[in-house]
Chain A
Amino acid sequence: MIIGLDVGGTYTDVVLLGDDGIVRANKVRTDSKALFRTVQSGLDTIIEGIPPDQIRRIVLSTTLTTNAIAQSKVSDVGMIVSAGPGVDPEFYRTNPHYEVISGSIDHRGREVEAVNAAEVEEAVRKFIEKGIRHVGVVGKFSTRNPQHELLINEQIRSHFEKVFLGHQISGTLNFPRRIATTYLNAAVYPIHKQFFEAVQQSLEQKGLKIPIHIMKADGGTMNFESSMNFPAQTILSGPAASVMGSLAFAFDDEDSLVMDIGGTTTDMAVLVNYVPVLNPLGICLGPYKTLIRSIESHSIPVGGDSKISVQDGVIHVGPERIGPAMAYGGPAPTPTDALCIMGQIKNGDRNKAIQGFQDIARGLNCSVSDAAVRVFDQTCRMILTEAGVLLNRINQKPVYTIHELQEGYQVAPRKILILGGPAPYFARHFEEISDFRVGVVPRWDVANAIGAALARTTCEVSLFADTQQGIATSPEELFSMVVNRDFSSDDAVQTASDLLRQKAVRQGASPEELIVEVIENQQFNMVKGFYTTGRNIRVKVQIKPGLINEYDAIAGILSTE
């Protein structure tokens, strides 16, 4: 059996999945001040009376790091940054202890200027003086040649508890994001480590000596050990867990939208052939633009509890939520009240809802029941319009070849999967006002925990070969090999795939379920003076997000429940 646990803002959901589907599902209130206790009580209820040897896997998704960053409750970090020519790296400052040093690498990974050891020494001295224990080191183009970062690491690592190196984050070229991501990893490392070590101990005390997997923002998982090197990957894993959960109930391989309609917001994502569409670069969180792979999502401030107001005959839904619906004792009218008035929601106090809608009916110059219909209709239309914004953003993603521009896949979902309290009511109306076929995820209340439980390990590897210089490298994997002039893009894909498989297993995947997908494969002839002097090859491969194979059966059972 597997345990899936998702700590949300209000509730923590836990499921226990067995060969026959959901064995148990529980909800406990989240105490954001005591997340560890919340996790513990969630686990206690779910495993009570289950023999520990029956449980083979546990996957956790928490708001720990997201909250820490949002509330600036992270530890001090020392950043060492080397840039060379280009934009002034001061613009990318992440924190007070941010030292810019000399040294530069060019776009082909050649050293332009060496690192100055004295400057590094000086930075170390400053950090030690401030009591800093965690350091990030980032160089421009370190993904093409990590030598400078490695050198600096050698020089400084004995002085600090942990050093994070930019080139290990991702093979993607984006220096400012690499700085921000390295910083975030270092900043959340201590709390992440403390928390998960505590979880591991507590599981061991219960007799559960099983691998812990941790949910990531891209809808995949990583194991406890690798999470220590990439703790920031856990940021915003909650929404990803919900999307993965809805995957178990997807109609078929056709494109579909996933919508999670909550009280305050509606979150949307897109599935193509059972795979969520990923953001091409990474998460943006507050001021930080990162290289943390994530599901491409769109969150709008429209939900069941959004405050409704009318100004000059125009209905406004949200953006704020000031409390629950009036039908449930709240202070302001909401779309949920509209559903009560319309008689669709039956368990609320309809009279209170009607009271709340008096002003709205006056503002719209119509009866209360008409006002309710109009408010609900507008709420649905706003959500559909925003879905269009998300689809447009995905389809407008720039491409750089004629082939992609002509043949590039355009997502065009005709189906929506909805999760959330008011989902059934929205589903009906969406079908009335659009051409979408709409389905409600059956166990939406615990879809996030199901998603966490069933998500597979994901990862990515980039390989860069330059046959003129005679090298193929994958700096994130600390891999480098000598190649000759005949090294081809097929060889590159082969090499990258091997690295990817090793990485996936290292991060917790089971070897038999690795499906490698090539997401980038470009090869350029390098020419000097009308002669071809070599090939420049760029390959990127990934294990894409999806559900683990061995529980296909479970997913099947779930979808028929």
Chain B
Amino acid sequence: MTFDFKMDQPQPRLLDSTRQGLIGTDMARPEGLLKVTGAAAYAADHLPEGCVHGMLVRATVTRGRVTAIDEGSIGDIPGLLGVFHGPKFIRNPAQGMAGESPIRPDTEVHFHGQPIALVVAETFEAAREGALRLAVTYESAPAEVDPETASEVESDEPDTRGDWDDAWGKAAARVDLTFRTAGHVSAAMEPHAAVAEWQGENLLLRGALQMVATNRLELADALGVEPERVRVVSPFVGGGFGSKLGIGPEAVAASVAARDLGRPVRVVMARQTVFDAVLRRTETRQRLRLAADADGKLLALAHDDRISNLPGEGFAEPVSSASRFTYDALAMHFAQEVARNHRTPSGSVRAPGEAVGMITLEVAMDMLAQLLDIDPLDLRLKNVATSHPMTGQAFGEQRLADCLTEGARRFGWADRPAPGTRSEGDWLIGAGMAAAARPNALQESSARVRLTPWGAVVETDMTDIGTGTYAILTQIAGEMLGLPAERVEVRLADSDFPRSPGSGGSFGASSSGSAVFMAAKGIREKLARTLGCDPDDLALQDGIARGGNVERSLADLIDGELGETATVGPGKTAETHASAGFGAHFAEVAVHRWTGEIRVRRMLGLFDIGRVLNERTARGQALGGMIWGMGGALHEALEHDPRTGHIANRDLANYHVAAHADVPGDITADFLPVRDDHANPMQSKGVGELGISGSGAAILNAVHDACGARLLSIPATPDKVIAAMEEG
């Protein structure tokens, strides 16, 4: 049986009355033991019989043409099998959900570090040595690499609301700031890897990928084969953060070489290649304008930005995304410029848009509060949007004000000392806050659930990139079918399974979870019929079904197995209602009065994510997001060579993510009990990226509170902090 479900209207809150007691608990990841014991096989852990090794070669010019690849230059390395390049090779990873091959530039080079060839050998060492020796000659062409001076700049009509001049003109206070953010890299622990194996005309690709259904289409398109001939599997992924949304050069190159050699080929990117060749987050320059009346009511809000990408790449960081609906203002204005340049192309990195845009909005709000001499908390509370200001839609559920007030209470916001009055030795102490917001969406997703006398088997091509998919799908199926977690098996990330959107945009849990939920609901209805009761009266717990005064074990009720495949997708509620996650961040920091070093001492985040599916994995996501936001505010920066545009800090010793010592011991993330009835049948919302939204702003606002330095460029490294302190 299969059926389609469209989210056209709110659904009963079934998970509030089911009996198994699994949903929402802090159940540990069922695959956790495999992971911590090293038994979980990630893509590169598979070495099929006869597997050989490939190493990617990067371009060392920024733009131009490869005129010769001299295979002879490698010399006689024992075990060398071949050098591969040519028209099937892709320039860079596909953008998320592209479903078709990225640009295949053949001999053209569009950025320094572009993968241009694959050297394959019997051993990893020989392949690496061959790749380092390979002599490539180029004809180079001039290339622009600076987004500020780019001659090709694209812009669309701004999105606007209201009469800007009028609103701006009558304001009592105005903020007009320029904010700069550095480029970021996802920096997943597992480097991008692929093992390609042809069985006749059919390709099996084991990859480190977030979205196997579209990855399969992208790979098939790049190779010029029918998608039916390609199977992509990716059951364990060591972090994605957007960098594994699309098929990558390693997968295409491995597939090309494997076909030619008639042997499986494994390609793992060197860490430096991950930096060079995987989509980065663009640097941004943002202008943020706020105008308010004397009471702090916003009159005008404008968020304009300039970002960059390679010519031909469609992705544009949605910098002002959350600025469009967090607060209400009479007049609003959002404009974006995309500077075309020849840096490593940009794409989705965790919380595209909010990670860099919300920090700007929330720093501006802090400045406005200061100008008006209003408590930053009150300023926000006065301006929380009650419906989506740009679309007029009602919110499915919007608990921003509750997050702000309750978060403030838990943090002790009201008791904080006046700005600039607290110090411990040479450390100046301050507190700051910010709001969080990020759109939520239901994406079309399918899952198959089979109930057998043993228990339930769930199959979907959804991935688990460390986020906890195995856990939550186990919980949803177990909860709906009245089974303990041990009697649910979840099988993921195989493109032969029912199609899901995969992991991205924080929509994975709600979308794939809703499909499992609906499939299980279908099974419940069948069980009720067999039992002879109304589905509403059916109670399932620990393998026992009860209803209409009858009690039977599930095993008795099932003849063989009961299967259901459900496809869920967005419906009318997506038009009538806006859905988004919300939250509030509070931070306490210490700033060294001499050196400008910042130490975060305390962080508290309180979020509205609808129904919490798993307390532990949700908290992990929220904390990880808050820490990521800290990293963006304080540490992370891609450094581009001003001549070639290439990324100079190409490893994790020089590209700084937050280290353990940066994370305060006193860090908490918590959730309000919320149900968003318009979001999906489970009333849940996305969490993965929400924690990032605004977290860095709370820190920067705390820095200002501590020492008076207003940081308008991130990361706020000591050089910038002392410069700002000397100014302020």
| A-B complex is real | no
A interface vs B, CB < 8 Å?
none
B interface vs A, CB < 8 Å?
none
